[in-house]
A and B are shown apart, each in its own frame.
Chain A
Amino acid sequence: MFKPENLRKNFMRAKQLADQNLGRTEKTEVLSEDLQSVEKRVDQVKDVSTRTTKKIEAWVKTSSSEYEKRLKKMPETSLAISMIESAGVLGNETLMGNLYQMCGECQSNLASHLLNHDISVEKAVLQPMQEILDVEIPAINKFKKNLTKTTLDMDSLKTRWHQAVKQTQVSGTNMQQAANKADTMKEHYEDSCARMEQARDQLTTEMYNFIAREPEHSQKLLSLLEIQQAYHKKALDELDKTIPKMRDTLECNPHKPVYGLPLEEHLRVTGRDVALGLFRIAGMASRVKKLKTSFDAGVVDMDEYALDIHSVAGALKQYLRELPEPLLTYYLYQDFINVLSLPQNQRLQALWKVVHDLPEPNYNNFRYLVKFLAKLSEKSDINKMTPSNIAIVIGPNLLWLEGDAGASMASSGSVSNLLEMIVSNADWFFPEDIDFHQVNKGTAPPRISSSSSDNVTTVSTAVVAPMQASNTLSSIARACELVTPAVTLPITSHSDDSMSNVEETDVFSDKVSPSYQSSAYSAGKSSHSSDKSPEVEFGTMASFCSSNTSRLSDNYDMLDQEEALGGAPPPQEEDTSKPRPNSQPIQKSESASNLHAPLAEVEPTSPRSHRKHKLKPAPPPPPERPYSIAVTASYSKANNPAQFQTWPRQAVSESNDEKSTEKPGHPPNRASTISYGDRPVAPPPDRPSKPPPAAPSHQRSASTGSANNAGLSVTMEQNGQGENKTETISS
Chain B
Amino acid sequence: MISHKSERTVTCTIVGDGMVGKSQICKTFIGDLTIEDYEATVTNEHSVLTQFMGDRYTLRIVDSSGQHDYKDIRTLSYKKSEVFILCFNLSDRDSFESIETFWIPEIRKLCKKTPVILVATGKDIQDNDENNNVSKEEYLSVMDKYGIDAYVECSSYNKEEVNEVFEDVLLSVIKSKKKRLSNIFHHLLAR
Q: Which A positions have Cβ atoms within 8 angstroms of B?
A: 284-287, 289, 310-311, 317, 321, 380-381, 384-386, 388-389, 392-393, 396-397, 405-409, 412-413, 416
Chain A residues whose C-beta falls within 8 Å of the C-beta of B72 in the assembled complex:
405-409, 412
B184 contacts A by Cβ under 8 Å: no
- B22 CB, nearest partner CB in chain A, Å: 14
B71 contacts A by Cβ under 8 Å: yes
Chain B residues whose C-beta falls within 8 Å of the C-beta of A321 in the assembled complex:
69
Chain A residues whose C-beta falls within 8 Å of the C-beta of B37 in the assembled complex:
380-381, 384, 386
Q: Is the CB of A407 within 8 A of B71?
A: yes
Query: How many angstroms between the C-alpha atoms of A384 and B70 in the bound complex?
Result: 20
Encode contact with A along B76-119: 1 for CB under 8 Å, 0 otherwise: 10000000000000001111011001100000000000000000
Query: How many angstroms between the C-alpha atoms of A434 and B41 in the bound complex?
Result: 30
- A317 CB, nearest partner CB in chain B, Å: 7
Encode contact with A along B1-42: 1 for CB under 8 Å, 0 otherwise: 000000000000000011100000000000000000111111
B65 contacts A by Cβ under 8 Å: yes
Q: Which B positions have Cβ atoms within 8 angstroms of A?
A: 17-19, 37-42, 65, 67-73, 76, 92-95, 97-98, 101-102
Q: Is the CB of B40 within 8 A of A388?
A: yes
Kindly report which residue of chain A lies nearest to residue B129, judged by CB atoms.
A307
- B89 CB, nearest partner CB in chain A, Å: 10
Query: How many angstroms between the C-alpha atoms of A397 and B70 in the bound complex?
Result: 10
Query: How many angstroms between the C-alpha atoms of A311 and B73 in the bound complex?
Result: 23
Q: Is the CB of B98 within 8 A of A287?
A: yes
Kindly report which residue of chain A lies nearest to residue B99, judged by CB atoms.
A286
| 3 pairs of A and B residues whose beta carbons are closest in the complex | A384-B38, A286-B98, A406-B72
- A347 CB, nearest partner CB in chain B, Å: 20
Query: How many angstroms between the C-alpha atoms of A528 and B44 in the bound complex?
Result: 51
Query: How many angstroms between the C-alpha atoms of A388 and B39 in the bound complex?
Result: 8
Chain B residues whose C-beta falls within 8 Å of the C-beta of A385 in the assembled complex:
38
Query: How many angstroms between the C-alpha atoms of A682 and B76 in the bound complex?
Result: 62
Q: Is the CB of A287 within 8 A of B71?
A: no
Chain A residues whose C-beta falls within 8 Å of the C-beta of B94 in the assembled complex:
285-287, 310-311
Kindly report which residue of chain B lies nearest to residue A286, judged by CB atoms.
B98
Kindly report which residue of chain A lies nearest to residue B70, judged by CB atoms.
A407
Query: How many angstroms between the C-alpha atoms of A331 and B178 in the bound complex?
Result: 53
Q: Is the CB of A393 within 8 A of B38?
A: no
SS of A interface (majority): helix
Q: Is the CB of B39 within 8 A of A317?
A: no
Option from A287, A381, A389 in Cβ contact (under 8 Å) with B97 = A287
Q: Is the CB of A406 within 8 A of B69?
A: yes
Chain B residues whose C-beta falls within 8 Å of the C-beta of A286 in the assembled complex:
17, 68, 94-95, 97-98, 101-102
Interface centre among B40, B93, B97 (most CB of A within 10 A): B40
Query: How many angstroms between the C-alpha atoms of A319 and B29 in the bound complex?
Result: 37
Query: How many angstroms between the C-alpha atoms of A409 and B76 in the bound complex?
Result: 10
Q: Is the CB of B102 within 8 A of A396?
A: no
**Are A392 and B65 also in contact (CB < 8 A) when A310-B94, A412-B73 are?**
yes
- A407 CB, nearest partner CB in chain B, Å: 5
Query: How many angstroms between the C-alpha atoms of A380 and B97 in the bound complex?
Result: 26
Q: Is the CB of B73 within 8 A of A409?
A: yes
Beyond the given A286-B102, A405-B72, please list 4 additional residue pairs across the A-B interface where CB-CB is below 8 A: A286-B94, A392-B67, A406-B69, A407-B73
**Are A416 and B42 also in contact (CB < 8 A) when A317-B69, A397-B69 are?**
yes
Question: Can you report 15 residue pairs joining A to B where beta carbons are below 8 Å apart?
Answer: A285-B94, A286-B17, A286-B101, A310-B94, A317-B68, A321-B69, A388-B40, A393-B18, A396-B69, A406-B69, A406-B71, A412-B42, A412-B72, A412-B73, A416-B42
Chain A residues whose C-beta falls within 8 Å of the C-beta of B65 in the assembled complex:
392
Number of A-B contacts (CB under 8 A): 75
Query: How many angstroms between the C-alpha atoms of A397 and B67 in the bound complex?
Result: 11
- A9 CB, nearest partner CB in chain B, Å: 104
Kindly report which residue of chain A lies nearest to residue B37, judged by CB atoms.
A384
- A191 CB, nearest partner CB in chain B, Å: 109
Chain B residues whose C-beta falls within 8 Å of the C-beta of A396 in the assembled complex:
67, 69-70
- A385 CB, nearest partner CB in chain B, Å: 8
Q: Is the CB of B18 within 8 A of A285?
A: yes
Chain B residues whose C-beta falls within 8 Å of the C-beta of A406 in the assembled complex:
69-72
Query: How many angstroms between the C-alpha atoms of A385 and B67 in the bound complex?
Result: 13
Chain B residues whose C-beta falls within 8 Å of the C-beta of A408 in the assembled complex:
72
Query: How many angstroms between the C-alpha atoms of A385 and B40 in the bound complex?
Result: 9
Kindly report which residue of chain B lies nearest to residue A408, judged by CB atoms.
B72
- A27 CB, nearest partner CB in chain B, Å: 95
- B127 CB, nearest partner CB in chain A, Å: 11
Kindly report which residue of chain B lies nearest to residue A287, judged by CB atoms.
B94
Query: How many angstroms between the C-alpha atoms of A407 and B69 in the bound complex?
Result: 6
Chain A residues whose C-beta falls within 8 Å of the C-beta of B71 in the assembled complex:
406-407
Kindly report which residue of chain A lies nearest to residue B103, judged by CB atoms.
A286
Q: Is the CB of B18 within 8 A of A284?
A: yes
Option from A389, A407, A416 in Cβ contact (under 8 Å) with B39 = A389
Chain B residues whose C-beta falls within 8 Å of the C-beta of A393 in the assembled complex:
18, 40, 67
Chain A residues whose C-beta falls within 8 Å of the C-beta of B102 in the assembled complex:
286
Query: How many angstroms between the C-alpha atoms of A377 and B17 in the bound complex?
Result: 20
Chain A residues whose C-beta falls within 8 Å of the C-beta of B68 in the assembled complex:
286, 317
- A88 CB, nearest partner CB in chain B, Å: 39
Chain A residues whose C-beta falls within 8 Å of the C-beta of B40 in the assembled complex:
388-389, 392-393
- B73 CB, nearest partner CB in chain A, Å: 6
- A401 CB, nearest partner CB in chain B, Å: 11
Interface centre among A286, A389, A392, A416 (most CB of B within 10 A): A286
Q: Is the CB of A285 within 8 A of B39?
A: no
Query: How many angstroms between the C-alpha atoms of A71 and B69 in the bound complex?
Result: 60
- A144 CB, nearest partner CB in chain B, Å: 88
Query: How many angstroms between the C-alpha atoms of A386 and B101 in the bound complex?
Result: 28
Interface centre among B38, B72, B92 (most CB of A within 10 A): B72
Query: How many angstroms between the C-alpha atoms of A409 and B74 in the bound complex?
Result: 10
- A715 CB, nearest partner CB in chain B, Å: 37
Kindly report which residue of chain B lies nearest to residue A384, judged by CB atoms.
B38
Q: Is the CB of A285 within 8 A of B70?
A: no
Query: How many angstroms between the C-alpha atoms of A285 and B92 in the bound complex?
Result: 10
Interface centre among A284, A388, A408 (most CB of B within 10 A): A284
Kindly report which residue of chain A lies nearest to residue B69, judged by CB atoms.
A396
Chain A residues whose C-beta falls within 8 Å of the C-beta of B70 in the assembled complex:
396, 406-407, 412
Query: How many angstroms between the C-alpha atoms of A719 and B42 in the bound complex?
Result: 49
Chain A residues whose C-beta falls within 8 Å of the C-beta of B41 in the assembled complex:
392
- B75 CB, nearest partner CB in chain A, Å: 8
Chain B residues whose C-beta falls within 8 Å of the C-beta of A386 in the assembled complex:
37, 39
Kindly report which residue of chain B lies nearest to residue A411, judged by CB atoms.
B72
Query: How many angstroms between the C-alpha atoms of A406 and B97 in the bound complex?
Result: 22
Chain B residues whose C-beta falls within 8 Å of the C-beta of A380 in the assembled complex:
37
- A406 CB, nearest partner CB in chain B, Å: 4
Query: How many angstroms between the C-alpha atoms of A452 and B82 in the bound complex?
Result: 58
Option from A285, A384, A397 in Cβ contact (under 8 Å) with B95 = A285
Interface centre among B38, B70, B97 (most CB of A within 10 A): B70
Query: How many angstroms between the C-alpha atoms of A317 and B18 in the bound complex?
Result: 14
- B142 CB, nearest partner CB in chain A, Å: 15
Query: How many angstroms between the C-alpha atoms of A412 and B41 in the bound complex?
Result: 12
Query: How many angstroms between the C-alpha atoms of A310 and B68 in the bound complex?
Result: 13
Query: How many angstroms between the C-alpha atoms of A311 and B102 in the bound complex?
Result: 14
- A282 CB, nearest partner CB in chain B, Å: 12
Option from B38, B42, B69, B76 in Cβ contact (under 8 Å) with A413 = B42
Kindly report which residue of chain B lies nearest to residue A311, judged by CB atoms.
B94
Query: How many angstroms between the C-alpha atoms of A396 and B102 in the bound complex?
Result: 18
Query: How many angstroms between the C-alpha atoms of A284 and B17 in the bound complex?
Result: 9
Chain B residues whose C-beta falls within 8 Å of the C-beta of A285 in the assembled complex:
17-19, 92, 94-95, 98
Query: How many angstroms between the C-alpha atoms of A412 and B101 in the bound complex?
Result: 24
Query: How many angstroms between the C-alpha atoms of A396 and B40 in the bound complex?
Result: 13
Query: How many angstroms between the C-alpha atoms of A396 and B67 in the bound complex?
Result: 10
**Are A384 and B98 also in contact (CB < 8 A) when A392-B67, A396-B67 are?**
no
Interface centre among A388, A406, A413 (most CB of B within 10 A): A406
Q: Is the CB of B39 within 8 A of A284?
A: no
Interface centre among B18, B68, B71 (most CB of A within 10 A): B68
